[in-house]
Structure 1
Amino acid sequence: MEITQINLNHCDTAQQLLWQSMTETKCDVAIISEPYQVPPDNGNWVSDRTGMAAIHVMGRFPIQEVVESASEGFVIAKINGVFVCSCYTPPRWTVEQFSQVLEQLTNKLIGRKPVVIGGDFNAWAVEWGSRVTNARGYILQEALAKLEVRLCNEGSVNTFRKDGRESIIDVTFCSPNLAANMNWKVSEEYTHSDHQAIHYRIGQRTPVATRRSITDGRKWKTKTFNKDLFIEALRPDGGVDNIDATELKRRMMMACDTTMLRKSEPTNSRRPAYWWNETLSTLRAACLRARRRAQRARTETEIEERKSAFREARSAFKLEIKRSKSNCYKRLCREADANPWGDAYRVVVAKIKVRPP
């Protein structure tokens, strides 16, 4: 499974960008801290009772079981045989409350394997790249040691960046058997949040086929197959001596075309967000460039100028998202009158998936 882990900072634009990013990267699961909104009665989403820790699935693997969603600070769901836990422990919590929530989390996960735990714990530890280890860092490591999980963070890239303040507070743990070929990394893509996204993979990647089928991916409606017509279409119009594989393939495909109707191209289950367009792609890239320039500024004058340019780029991007969503919504409303089962129906269905029992 391909997983994205991120703190959205309760930002609508950041959550909309996450949807688009999951589509572009073919991500299966998002482990989310501080989502903007968890859609109610949507089987692709599950959250803790406060809505501050959430899991969103998109793609090949549905939520098989909701293990825990009544607690505060974490949610657990079984996805493709893996127990996925999303966490968020706000900095306002006392050490005692932090410790109690971690105890509840470990009690829920003891005996359940394999497991992935990710989230914003607001904890520092030198083990995952912080300058020092604070009380939360010690408590977190001691609590999760009961589960026989290993730390997945690699390198020292900061996951939280805001106004010159940077730290590593987004952490991932998993069962040892899931760590192979994980490829854990902090993404530099623009998120519109003060946290960077983390991408990683668990389990074995599906092997890429090195040989294509003889039909090059083309398919036919076999219900329309006519045996007599197929045999007639295969009759050689010349000799059959020394026929090679390429010629045999060509004749087979022609006979199939003669005998059966072609299937339509399969629809892509990972369509971009209905409001996404090329202008937004350009503005997102501009935001990323402006942010990088601001981070590299040295003098006070440079810092202020580049921060101002970044704020302008962010505002333009956010405004264009609102404009595009508004225009697309109006278009969908108009089209729904003429074609109720078109794009408008698809968008609505995507928002009201029924949660499995």
Structure 2
Amino acid sequence: MLRPRVRPETACPGPGKVRQRGACKRENAAMHADYSDLLLCLYRKSHELPVAHFQDEALNLLKPVLPFDSAMWGCATLTPGGIDIHAIHLHRQPVEMLQAYEEVKHLDTAAQAVGMRPSETLAFDAQSWFGGRQQSALRDYGRRFEQSHFFIGGLVNPDTRFTRWLTLFRARADAHCTESERLRLAGLLPHLQQALELNRLTHLKDVVQTRGGDGTGSALADSRGMIHHMDAIFEHALRNEWAGWQGPWLPAAVVVAAQRGEQRVVGRTLAIKQFSQHGLLWLRVRPLCAADALTPREAIVARLTAMGLTHKQIAARLQRAPATVRNQIRSIYDKLGVANVAALVEALRQAD
């Protein structure tokens, strides 16, 4: 395991003592000079690892530098009632934590503090921060999921209130967060977020199988429809299809289709293929083609025909009358304007 060269820790005093706080900053800056191996490894793994594995590996790289027991890393919109989570990755925490948090998130003053101070990384003790009488349920929640001490850092868009954030938890009651550790995370957090974005972008074209030079574009969004990345082709296609669309959210029709589990959206000028993976929505757009006019049943028959099956073989496989399948094949050829199987294969390829 990578072990960055870290100088001995010095417990830094509270923010009221300016000189000592400055000493912590100088110490932290010196430490960053020893993080080159960590950062090189982090960015290398962002290119090498699949999306589903990168965040856990990135957090494992962080632990020798900033020890913690569990974490959650995700994106959300900050609202008056608490954070509205779009996508989240849990590290050594059970999925039950999310449902339990929904019941107490309105008591989470830490999330509110992040919203008010979006550029600041926080470090605090749960018992003292959530010490209000009305926050007893939140304290019980913290004990249940072993969250005694927190580090929280996020990058917030002030216009949309959308944030990408990371929370680290320490379980032991005596494992207090220090000021130098807080500053250390503040310095490393932009690299963690950037490496995560690079990891997703590196694999985006592979995941959605975008082919260059044929008018296809790609995008990555979360389950709520917030776009995390889109290329120029994707953006142009959406603007052409939905007049007045501005972003940064996907058009409602695309979001609704995704929520229904539909993998294809066909519009006037475009077709979008989409699927969910690791809590994110991966999308590919292309211009409309003739094969998009096929019904779902016709599309199945067309693909079986392209595989070389006869109408009788297709009828047996689909448990339909041979005459029905023969008529469907004739209709498919007419719709696509093709006269043989080779031309059918090419027409279907354009709809892949």
TM-score tier by shorter-chain length is under 0.3
Instruction: Select the structure with the greater relative contact order (CA < 8 A; seq sep ≥ 6).
Output: 1
Structure with the bigger percentage of helix:
2
